[in-house]
Chain A
Amino acid sequence: MIDSQTPLPGTPMEELDTPCLVLDLDALDANMDVIADYYRERPSKLRGHSKNHKTPAIALRQIRRGGTVGGVCAAKVSEAEVMVHGGVPSVFITSEVVGELKIRRLCSLAGQAEVMVACDSPANAHALSQEAAAQGVDLGVVIELETGLKRCGVQEIGQGVDLAHDIASLPGLSFRGIMSHQVIPAMPDREDRVTEGNRVIKGVIDLKDAIVESGLPVEIVSTGETWSYDVAGEIPGVTEIQGGSYLLMETHYGYMTEFSYAAKVLTTIISTPRPGIAIGDAGARAVGTLRGMPEVDARPGVTIESMDGDHAVFRLSDGASLRPGDQVLLIPAQQDAMVSRWDRFVGLRRGKVEAVWDIQARGCHN
């Protein structure tokens, strides 16, 4: 593979070819420490979502710094493989896995590390059991409950209790617990997040109680995400929180000021065709514009006017000036869909390259 894009440690940011996905390592470490400090003395812990960074080096760094269950979440089987091969000892796949070939790979992975998977139907539980038993592995199964996302998950408590007993009775499977995922619109006020978090997570606790009452232990109650890391973490009964965005951050979560923007796209001005306008070499393909335009970092008077596939059009006001060759950092509106386009993070500290991490699970859709 041709690789002219892996800079040496010590390279100044100004010498990087762009566009380049850079990671402010001071910010990354600070975000990791917020989590480590918050969960240190609490019974609940974070199981960070690796779908956001797709990088074992980052997953293991958070696990070492603390605050976690010692494992990660993953969205896909292939992503989970990358995490296990990278040395993560425990992976929870938070999506349902269907199809014979994929289940075969899932069960093979369960023979190499602690692997759990979400499930929302008896038919799927039977398919999982058949393959796990055939391979002689123990596959952990976690029931997904729908709590407002209108996506996967059992729809009501009774259905969840029945499914838990199905799973517990099937060979090759261990019933491990329950999960539910929720998203909310931006809620800067923590009290609003507490109210909303308690409201949506109540269903999860209700399902847990019902399963326990029916005679089955529920070891894992996994829920929440970045917006509710300090809400779900306070709710008795919740054992794991699934946050991921907090690590790299994005303007969408800008109201959570305890976290810092760590992942940015470095772009270079390639043209200044008209007064007040400068063109950057990063566009929608590199940054992603699904949740809105990125913001310009630390350049007063420079804003993004528009973005197409491979260009950003900057508007300059209030005396701001940019010349061809100048660099501009862009903070994404959403980091998740941005990272999935890149092959590596270039980690910077104090303006110099410190580490380059391959985004090993980039492209792991299946």
Chain B
Amino acid sequence: MERPIFQPVGTPVEELDTPALVVDLDLMERNIRTYQGYFDGTGVTVRPVVTSHLCPQVARRQLAAPGSRGVAVTTVGEAEVFAAAGFGDILLANQVVTASKIRRLCALASGAAISVAVDSADNVAQLSQAATAAGVELGLLVEIEAGLGRCGVPPGAEAVALAQAANAAAGLRFRGIMATVPGPAGDDANAHAGQTLQNLQAAIDAKDLLESAGLAVPEVSVGGAHCYAAAGELPGITEVRVGRYPLMDVRLQAYLPELSLAAVVLSTVISRPAADMAVLDAGHKATGPDMGRPVLQGHAGATAARFSAEHGVVDLESGALQQSQDEAQDGGLVPGAKARLAPWELAACVNQYDYIRAVRDGKLEGYWPLSARGRFA
């Protein structure tokens, strides 16, 4: 477990012990209002994917803002944490197939509205049997494959058969369909938007198909933080599952530049072994760079060039060196100075911490537990 120095509320952010995952609350709250505001008047609601930030305190603020309801999780362990934290509407947007986990899921359904995704008839039968035995009701969403190449069935006869099975099974309530579309691959936002519309069509096709087979489809839930514009344009979509917009990361900001990087890893320069480099106390373990390197903020010309397990190396060449030396007395990257690293991929970064240091106006407001961290199972 993280063993931070718990500094008092009001401590200036520059004095926090590092590495630390710091969230600017003003930026976070603005991001939440901006993003959820996209859906004003569209009839589409936002279901926050809390897997992206693992923090009930963040999720509470998402649900408190207009335009959202319930939360989505990826694992039974995450569902347990959020149910214990008082969240009453939880969608496990994933398949749960083993007896032990299905029992855990049913146990939660006695105190919260629990829904789960299915993509096989065997799994529907398993869930029905367990829910009946536990005396609870599980909501069921049939997962439609929408370009991700992962779980789900295509919009066709199999989807209809699954929905009918779910509709007829004891202990289950058929709630509709869900689909997850792929994230951006390149950096062409327009091409990505077009591709997203095309992928989302699979969910609409499935809904039409199910309805023409006589089934009511109350929910069409689609995932992907970048697909808000498309989701608003496609009639029939009822819910968007998104996670990264409150805290953001560099990868998503390329597509949603109007949202701010509210989460950064605060780190400290521990060595200036040569004139053109500064070594930081944050490496792989403190930043989670699996999908891409974190980006140094606020030091023009300097770049966080290399990371190893425990260290980051800042390249001070090309102009920043001079600036840094000039500013040696007032905040250049000298030993002891702080550096801010914006995560490339939020989920991989928060996964490494136990607390968010919540900050407002540059001062510490509190430690927010990342209660669902490590709940992979």
Contact = CB atoms under 8 A, between A and B. Distances in A.
Interface of A: 2, 4-5, 15, 17-20, 51, 75-76, 78, 81-82, 95-99, 101-102, 105, 120-121, 123-124, 146, 149-155, 183, 268-273, 277, 279, 281-282, 284-286, 288-290, 306, 308-311, 313, 324-325, 336-337, 340-343, 360, 362-366
**Ranked 9 nearest A-B pairs via Cβ:** A363-B2, A78-B3, A270-B95, A152-B271, A271-B151, A17-B377, A365-B286, A75-B310, A365-B19
Contacts of B75: 281, 310
Nearest to A339: B285
B111 interface: no
A155 B273 CA distance: 7
Interface residues of B, number: 70
A317 B285 CA distance: 35
Contacts of A310: 51, 74-75, 94, 376
Interface stretch (B127-135, B165-173, B351-359): B351-359
29 contacts: A17-B100, A20-B377, A51-B309, A75-B309, A96-B335, A98-B270, A98-B271, A99-B18, A101-B17, A102-B5, A146-B273, A152-B271, A153-B273, A154-B273, A183-B308, A268-B97, A270-B94, A270-B151, A279-B150, A285-B347, A311-B150, A324-B123, A325-B97, A336-B309, A340-B285, A365-B285, A365-B353, A366-B3, A366-B17
B249 interface: no
Given A51-B310, A289-B290, A290-B284, A343 B18 contact: no
Interface in B1-43: 1-5, 7, 17-20
A279 B19 CA distance: 35
Interface string B260-277: 000000001111111001
B250 interface: no
Contacts of A154: 273
A124 B269 CA distance: 12
A172 to B, nearest CB: 19
A2 B78 CA distance: 11
Contact of A98 (B268, B273, B351): B268
Q: Which of B2, B149, B269, B377 has the most CB of A within 10 A?
A: B377
Given A151-B313, A343-B374, 15 more contacts: A4-B77, A15-B100, A17-B101, A17-B377, A18-B98, A82-B3, A151-B308, A151-B311, A152-B271, A270-B96, A270-B151, A285-B347, A324-B97, A364-B2, A365-B2
Given A4-B80, A105-B5, A151-B313, A324 B271 contact: no
A353 to B, nearest CB: 14
B20 A366 contact: yes
B285 A337 contact: yes
Contacts of B5: 101-102, 105, 366
B189 interface: no
A336 to B, nearest CB: 5
A124 B74 CA distance: 45
Given A4-B104, A270-B95, A313-B149, A102 B17 contact: yes
Contacts of B277: 150
A191 B347 CA distance: 42
Contacts of A81: 3
A364 B249 CA distance: 23
A250 to B, nearest CB: 12
Contacts of A153: 271, 273
A313 B151 CA distance: 9
Q: Which of A99, A153, A272, A310 has the most CB of B within 10 A?
A: A99
